[in-house]
Chain A
Amino acid sequence: MELFGIWIAAFLTLCIYSFLYKDNPFYRFAEYLFVGMTVGYGIVLSYHQGFIPFAWEPFMDVFTGESLFGLIKLIPIGIGLLFFSGLSSRHTWLIRFPSAILIGVGCGLAIPNVLRANIFEQTRGTIEPFAAINAGTLSGMEIFSAILMVIGVICTLTYFFFSVEHRGPVKWVSKIGIAFLMIGFGSAFGNTVMGRVALLIQRVDFLINDWLGSFVALF
């Protein structure tokens, strides 16, 4: 059975890589199969690990007399079912209720935490090294990094500041900002190349060691 799985995986891997020559039905078959299986697997898992323990089982407990707590689940289940009103043009307005609740809860949970994680903490991280410079606990290189970071932050933010026309000194500051952005994009691109090549290496490793290895096991 394991051998069968290896051969199926090898066949699908070769189907996907056949795209490097040109688009073909084998590639499309493997692509659609991957997308379909991912969605199908996700739905089944969400049903078994989400709907069953959080909605169905508590609801069923009401009928078995185990607990009346499940009755309260009727409220979120009912609100959730309103999403399906989008299927009927007459009742599609009902979808606003679950959407509004989702957006409201999402914003309420996210805004204070995101502000702290991504604005306040990042601002603290940018300024904090200067307190250490004042205390004399940073090395020369660390002081240079701290100053460079502040210059980068100011110049990059200036590039995205559109309330003032980018002329004169503002133009030059924003140009330095572009240079910092380019370095950031370059770093991201380099890491992305590393990631993509790793995917290729893993598949080649599979083809050489597992698939071709299975030939050796067969004969």
Chain B
Amino acid sequence: MLTKLVNMDRRIVFILVALAVIIPMLFPISLPVSISEPTQNLYEFIDELPADSAIMLVFDYGPSSLAELNPMAKAILKQCFDKDVKVVGLTLYAVGTTMGSDLMKEIAEEKGAVNGEDYVFLGYRPGIELVILGMGTNIADIYETDFYGTPTTELPMMENITNYDQIELVVDLSSGNLTEAWITFANVQFNQQIAAGVTGVIISQMYPYLQTGQLIGLISGIAGAAEYEHLIQSHAKGTLWINVESFVHLLIIILVIIGNIAFFVQRKQEE
């Protein structure tokens, strides 16, 4: 029995995980969401911004990370449009360009925000450090046009936005190390306030920056996205998925415990 457990075909585990995802998705239940301090801080920062102030939302991720980061982006955009906070969207990651553009359009349509007036999407420019540093002097020098070809200086929203001095906060949604580039160049060089939304893989790397105040807030993976949806009272995919995720985590914990017990008992028997 124990030998069978230890040498169990990994495909049985895959089937169990699949069931732990499919069943709660077909029969969703609502689990309580507790808000972490870094997510709360970001929410409050944006919530306290006066109308017509501007934030920069950076889509530094591709399709392979949209499961975790799209719900965050949607929640932040909804909050900004509800609060009349202007959003300058851009990306330093080529693959994120069309995704960022589509996502901004989708939420803008839902909230009645107008391109060029309530939000702009500047698109992608290569050369990470140079783009971040260049925008500290003049955004229009780096992005002469927005993603759709309109000269940046002709966009009504950009009339009063020249550089980081008019940007209250940069929110970097990242699946890699680009948040560190924003901290290293925009925060250090221009004292720009930075917050981040990151995938589970890099959450641990971000905590030292929170502790020093280099990040004013942090949304951590799908759990953070669910927290943010809870804060803006708009429960969407993030909330649904974290409920499903809880069942998978429970299954993984059970499997780890069973696996360890079986391993140690078997070793003792062999001794």
Contact = CB atoms under 8 A, between A and B. Distances in A.
Interface string A103-135: 000100110011011100110110000000000
Nearest to B175: A195
Nearest to A58: B144
A53 B223 contact: no
B166 interface: no
A84 B149 CA distance: 31
Given A50-B126, A114-B184, A204 B21 contact: yes
A213 B258 CA distance: 37
A191 B21 contact: no
Contacts of A53: 144-145
Contacts of B41: none
Given A49-B125, A194-B222, A117 B204 contact: no
Contact of B240 (A117, A192, A196, A205): A205
Contacts of A205: 25, 237, 240-241
Interface string B216-247: 00001111000000000000010011001100
A20 to B, nearest CB: 5
A212 to B, nearest CB: 10
B125 A198 contact: no
Contact residues of A: prevailing secondary structure: helix
B208 A122 contact: yes
Nearest to A196: B200
Contacts of A114: 184
A131 B204 CA distance: 26
B64 interface: yes
Given A41-B94, A42-B94, A46-B126, 11 more contacts: A21-B11, A38-B95, A45-B95, A53-B144, A113-B188, A117-B184, A121-B212, A194-B249, A198-B200, A198-B222, A205-B241
Rank and list the top 9 A-B pairs by shortest CB-CB distance, nearest first: A195-B200, A202-B67, A125-B212, A191-B200, A198-B222, A50-B126, A194-B200, A188-B204, A42-B94
9 contacts: A109-B129, A113-B184, A121-B188, A194-B222, A195-B68, A197-B21, A198-B221, A204-B18, A205-B25
Interface of A: 20-21, 38, 41-42, 45-46, 49-50, 53, 106, 109-110, 113-114, 116-118, 121-122, 124-125, 184, 187-188, 191-205, 208
